[in-house]
Structure 1
Amino acid sequence: MDKERMTAETTKERKTWLGMDEVQLQEAGGTFTAKEITQQPLLWKNTWALVNKSKAALQAFLNDIYTITDMEVVLTGAGTSAYIGSILRDPFQKSSRKNTWAAPTTDLVSHPHHYFQPDRTLLLVSFARSGNSPESVAAINLANAICKKAFHLIITCNPEGDLARMGDRPDCFVFHLPEETNDRGLAMTSSFTCMLLAGLLITRIDRINRYAETVSRLADYGDRIITRYTQPLKDMASLDFNRALFLGSGPLQDAAQESQLKLQELTDGKVICKHDSFLGLRHGPKVVIDHKTLIFFLYSNEDYVHLYEADLVKSILATEKGIGQVGISEFPDNDLQATLAISFSEYEEKIEEDFLSVCSVLPAQILAFFKSVNLGLKPDAPSANDTITRVVQGVTIYPYRADHIHSFNRL
């Protein structure tokens, strides 16, 4: 076999991620991130299997807690992990039938008295990729110190993290995601979608078998996005934009927030990003749109919600349309003409709206990866001056004393 033929066959056999092979990814400094984006559809199926396997234990833990009369639920995490809690607030409130709030650990630590009550029982649901963020551990310790009684459901990607080590306590249940979800790249991709999916499934744990088909469809959606839209998103990333706006409604507003963070993180802040609801944008924030703004529309699959979304999109396309638009929807919408229209369903029936938040972040992940490469950054470690790190650094946790708060109340 001649050298030219051998080279051609070797190239053909190379596996690619986001259209790039191992050599190209290494040169770009994006090996981990590209693989972690691409692996998500498979990991969603694995996540369902793990939740299903833990069904009996999860039901026993949660059902006992939900019978407590004065029980309240707080969903928490830091950064990306906090957005998971925001998406899951309504599903947890419906499943627990308890007052439920979502609050970042960064709020819980500075203002624990706003969330933890000494005369209440608490279920603190913590989401963490590494489980080593100082605020995550501090939030659990504060809940234990302040509340009448605190229980903990910890959903984490790292079985060796500080939070995972709390699993031996009788008041704590630790759910471990597949090992591959513990992203090695800076940006949370697999970890976000798999922790979110685990949370959605846990809120439906009593009927989880019904959601095997939903998760299978989500995996199909993810594969379709990666297969059909990677190149168009790569092309969009080459546009000369320095701002990006992400819009969503309900659970997709929080997915929009996660999407904007991905683009801002992976471009080391060179692209400034904002998110809002479709209705909220009209009340002032619309002024951020200029000729170098890329706009993302994360569409709901609820007809009532989409009426408001369509009105806003038509208004934008008639005036401040930016440098381009990306429309992301379960089904095609021929009435709304974006520069790039991404639809991911070939099924006749829609899935439940909050499950769309799992796959609707993939386009932003992919575009952010290529924008990072275009800017000469390394997607696995895009922060040139270590402004941000995989596990936050430099946070001092101070002792909490109730008399600190009481002194403020007396002023």
Structure 2
Amino acid sequence: MKIETLDVYREVAQQPGLWKKVYADVLAGKDRISSFLNVYMKHDSEVVFTGAGSSFFVGEMVAGYFQEKTGRTTKAVSTTEIVTYPTHYISKNKPVLLVSFARSGNSPESVAAVKMAEETNPNIAHLIITCNKDGELARCESLENKFVYLLPEEANDKALAMTSSVTSMALVVLLLANLNNLISQEKQIEAAASLVEMVLEKYGNMLAEIASRDFERAVFLGSGPFYGLAHEAHLKVQEMTDGQLICKFDSFLGFRHGPKVVVNDKTLMVYLHSPKAQVRRYEDDLVRSINKEQNPAFKLGICDTCDSDDDYDAVVTFSEKKYGIDEAYFMLAYLVPVQLFSIFKSIEYGLNPDAPSASGAIHRVVQGVKIYND
């Protein structure tokens, strides 16, 4: 199987160009977007990022950054939680902006979460960020206070696994957080794109070799926004291997509190390191603790710089200083090594990476969900 012929590989490789296209689109539509946000994202507004699966993890990746930049209280809540417990997550009396992420916009929970949020807070506003102009979410005619941001057509990944759709939706939020400073963001995107091109050129063979090894489980760790990244990474590899490689995720500090019992001599550890020195000290302590107390099969570090290669069996090294890139944009590039690894591991299991669910357990648009309205 030639990897270049796969939709999922093309979608991973297209991310640098797609990000530049997203930037151009946001820049061109800045006035319309600003007008909407100025009305519906007041100083006392709560912002709720929502989605299901990978679309929810987008919110986890960017919520903290958005809150830090805008000063608005921001949280990520999955549509699956809003559907079952809407009043636990949607304030009844405060101004709320619900930001819905969706590749297709056709999953039952996506539409139901919007409806239930409306019923909980009739004055809620909606920002819908989607890759499908024909999806139910994009065509929700009943919503009054809404803005639909439609990503470029190529962001609507054809393959089962979400790849370029994830990073592109995340990028939209990073840009919205910097609407008053959009011009300076172009350099950040160019730098992130350069990092991806470097990974594709330099690390493909290494990641393929790691994927050829025998693992029973894989663990992905990240801090802050990289925790959301770890959440997405664990799902991506588990999806792409049709559940044959069981995956876990956690924060570096949280992993000590019980979850580290999963590590055995058939475990792949993937460390998604923060570029912040203060955070990195905690992370390095955990890596060395795992190395000392347990015996994972393989340790992969993904980092800006890895001070001691002795702590890892292999590293994917970016250089934040070289590219002058902000942590949030840096994060987008971090996903690419995991996306590539997931493709190689899928092939290793004899699966079709474009449609790896041989059992039919998962689908491009989730099936079997019945929404109860009474």
Tell me how far 1:121 sits from its aligned partner.
2.5
Tell me how far 1:255 sits from its aligned partner.
0.2
The alignment status of 1:155 with 2:129, answered yes or no, reads yes
Q: How do residues 146-225 of structure 1 correspond to structure 2 at under 5 angstroms? A: 146-166=120-140, 170-225=144-199
Equivalent position of 2:354 in the other structure: 380
- Distance change in 2, residues 1:96/1:345 (3 Å): closer
TM-score (norm 1): 0.87
- Distance change in 2, residues 1:241/1:308 (3 Å): same
Equivalent position of 1:26 in the other structure: none
Equivalent position of 2:118 in the other structure: 144
SS of the counterpart of 1:351? coil
String of CA shifts for 1:232-272, please: whole Å, max 9, x gaps: 00000000001000011110011011001000000010000
Q: 314, 326, 347: which is aligned to 2:288?
A: 314
Q: Return 210-219 or 91-100, whichever deviates more.
A: 91-100
Q: Return 124-133 or 139-148, whichever deviates more.
A: 139-148
**Distance across 1 between alignment mates of 2:343 and 2:194:** 21
* Contact 2:216–2:266 (8 Å) recurs in 1: yes
The alignment status of 1:353 with 2:327, answered yes or no, reads yes
The alignment status of 1:44 with 2:27, answered yes or no, reads no
Q: Return 115-124 or 199-208, whichever deviates more.
A: 115-124
Tell me how far 1:97 sits from its aligned partner.
2.7
Q: How do residues 235-384 of structure 1 correspond to structure 2 at under 5 angstroms? A: 235-334=209-308, 337-345=311-319, 347-348=321-322, 350-384=324-358
- Distance change in 2, residues 1:168/1:202 (3 Å): farther
* Contact 1:167–1:173 (8 Å) recurs in 2: no
Equivalent position of 2:8 in the other structure: 33
Tell me how far 1:19 sits from its aligned partner.
6.8
The alignment status of 1:391 with 2:374, answered yes or no, reads no
Q: 29, 37, 46: which is aligned to 1:72?
A: 46
Tell me how far 1:335 sits from its aligned partner.
5.4
Q: Return 116-125 or 202-211, whichever deviates more.
A: 116-125
Q: 78, 81, 84: which is aligned to 2:58?
A: 84
Q: Return 346-355 or 306-315, whichever deviates more.
A: 346-355
Task: Give 2:127's aligned amino acid.
Answer: L
The structure that has the greater radius of gyration is 1
Tell me how far 1:38 sits from its aligned partner.
1.2
* Contact 1:119–1:148 (8 Å) recurs in 2: no
Task: Give 1:343's aligned amino acid.
Answer: T
Tell me how far 1:332 sits from its aligned partner.
4.2
Q: Return 305-314 or 115-124, whichever deviates more.
A: 115-124
Tell me how far 1:169 sits from its aligned partner.
5.2
- Distance change in 2, residues 1:162/1:276 (3 Å): same
For structure 1, list consecutive stretches of 5 or more residues without a partner in the other structure: 1-17, 23-30, 401-411
SS of the counterpart of 2:325? coil
TM-score (norm 2): 0.95
Q: 86, 93, 107: which is aligned to 2:67?
A: 93
* Contact 2:49–2:98 (8 Å) recurs in 1: yes
Equivalent position of 1:8 in the other structure: none
The alignment status of 1:102 with 2:51, answered yes or no, reads no
**Distance across 2 between alignment mates of 1:146 and 1:362:** 38
Tell me how far 1:98 sits from its aligned partner.
2.9
Equivalent position of 1:20 in the other structure: 3
Task: Give 1:184's aligned amino acid.
Answer: K
For structure 2, list consecutive stretches of 5 or more residues without a partner in the other structure: none
* Contact 2:241–2:342 (8 Å) recurs in 1: yes
Tell me how far 1:87 sits from its aligned partner.
1.8
* Contact 1:252–1:354 (8 Å) recurs in 2: no
String of CA shifts for 1:186-236, please: whole Å, max 9, x gaps: 110010011111111111111111110000000000111111001100000
RMSD: 1.8
Equivalent position of 1:409 in the other structure: none
**Distance across 2 between alignment mates of 1:165 and 1:96:** 28
Equivalent position of 1:133 in the other structure: 107
**Distance across 2 between alignment mates of 1:77 and 1:129:** 10
Task: Give 1:103's aligned amino acid.
Answer: V
String of CA shifts for 1:62-87, please: whole Å, max 9, x gaps: 11222364x32111000000011112
- Distance change in 2, residues 1:256/1:21 (3 Å): closer
